[in-house]
Amino acid sequence: MMDDVLVWWVSSLIEMAKLRWMLGAGSRWQPGTRLKLLFAGYNGTRNTGSDVRVEEMLRQVRQVLGEERVELTIMSQNFELSRGYFGDAAQVKLPDIFPPFLYREVPKHDGVVACEGSMFKSKFANALTAMMVGSLGIAAAQNKLSIGYGAEAGQMDRVVKRMTQRYCAQSMVITRNEESADLLRQMGIATEVGTDTAWTFEPHGREYGEKALRDVGWDGSASVLVVCPINPFWWPVKPSLGKAAARVATGAYKSSHYRSMYFHNAGANVDAAFDAYISAMANAVDHFRREKEVFPVMVATEMLDTHACRRIADKLGGVPVLSSRQHDMYELVSVLRACHLMVSSRYHGIVTSMPGLVASAGVTMDERIRNLMSERGHEHLLLQVDDPELEGKLLEVLRALDRERESVRDGIGRSVVRNLQTMARMGVYLEEQVQRRYPEFPVRQGVHSWEEYLPPLGAELEQLVTTYA
């Protein structure tokens, strides 16, 4: 019910923004001025994947459109947690109750780039999709640039699907896989197929990650097995005024509280499923480390994952836990790339480790890791979070990772370069969309190589391009 109210609220504000534009209110980009772009997403929560992909999105936009020609602004929920991120982009506070904020903020800019990966799906929260559609819809209603960049689409509840169809009809959505593009095309939304934007990220050097691992007990010789678990079962998050009131009055629902009036999925079934997942992960890793000389470490690439990491760490007798709560994205990705083997339920745990050729397997809750493993040709390294035989299957996957490490690394290297080339095409699509919306905007002239549509690459990526391009 509350989701329906939120969708109605955002939809009403889009209609009001359209009416204001028709009545002559609002501004339009003028030649000779910087193009003001608002990047709409949920940053400032120390979700490493979200922060990394937006960091690279901003760098790519500066590269393609010209740093001196754009003025970039990014939403953040907590300035302390996004301090030092996003270069010279301005940061604006995204409140938990966001519809009035969108109505005020979006018209100040010449366009919106929606940058949340799980852009059009109900798996995590209908509120997330409502915010993405609200941002894109207000921009489109005022005849401004309206682009979804590196988006995924999946199952949507009827009310948010209808909202997306209506208010994103004038937007361009560049998806990060063909499956998402197909779904959006069926809804009548213009799409191009792209990829994630985290591929070009440059963390601290490998020496930082190796030192961080030594500091928590690694001997420098054993293979490091990094595990990135989550709680797959407490989604979606839903708003509830009743639970919020009870929490304030009595302290109830503390364990399932997400933030503000939003609460995780909870109950005995959720707890049982999570316990089974944690036990299966821990038991498989424990069995594997008795077979092979490995150093297990848990990494929470989002602060919310710290609890899952500690649960598994405890079952393994107290192995190290590194969390984005204490480590920023430059540090944490350096740690991931200094590892040798990975099992992850975090999509960006896998993506950000791949330029370091870390042999990785996925235990997935949705289509993101599944699509990535399919693209890599590593479907045999994919498992489901709710598989009743997860423990045994994961042990076999760990053995396969170790046995096939070099061939897996080779497949990963080829995949990284393919995705870099696809990300470059996204830069071309961006340039075309800007020119279509604002024909007088000065885009680059002449013929450019695909690498020139990417932000500057670090030495690690340059080597992969030399090897696999």
- Boundary residue ending a domain (403, 420, 450): 403
Q: Containing domain of residue 397, as a range?
A: 206-403
- Pair (26, 159) in one structural domain: yes
Neighbouring CB atoms inside 10 A of 435's CB total 13
Segment 376-391, tens digit of pLDDT: 999 999 999 999 999 9
Count of residues for the chain?
Answer: 469
The total number of structural domains in the chain stands at: 2
Tell whether 308 is covered by a domain. Answer: yes
- Pair (218, 253) in one structural domain: yes
- Pair (190, 254) in one structural domain: no
Q: Where are the alpha helices (DSSP H) in 23-92?
A: 48-65
- Pair (214, 323) in one structural domain: yes
- Pair (187, 211) in one structural domain: no
- Pair (177, 100) in one structural domain: yes
- Pair (106, 126) in one structural domain: yes
Tell me, what CATH number does 36's domain have? 3.40.50
At 172 the three-state DSSP class reads: strand
- Pair (113, 254) in one structural domain: no
d(CA 239, CA 244): 8
Tell whether 444 is covered by a domain. Answer: no
Tell whether 417 is covered by a domain. Answer: no
Residue 67 pLDDT: 95
Tell whether 102 is covered by a domain. Answer: yes
Tell me, what CATH number does 248's domain have? 3.40.50.2000
Higher pLDDT among residues 430 and 126, named by residue = 430
Tell whether 341 is covered by a domain. Answer: yes
- pTM of the predicted model as reported, rounded to 2 decimal places: 0.94
- Pair (145, 221) in one structural domain: no
Residue 257 pLDDT: 80
- Pair (178, 218) in one structural domain: no
Segment 158-181, tens digit of pLDDT: 999 999 999 999 999 999 888 899
Residue 52 pLDDT: 97
Tell whether 116 is covered by a domain. Answer: yes
- Pair (32, 95) in one structural domain: yes
Tell whether 327 is covered by a domain. Answer: yes
Sort 2 into a burial class: Cβ within 10 Å, 0-12 / 13-18 / 19+. middle
Segment 327-378, tens digit of pLDDT: 999 999 999 999 999 999 999 999 999 999 999 999 999 888 998 999 999 9
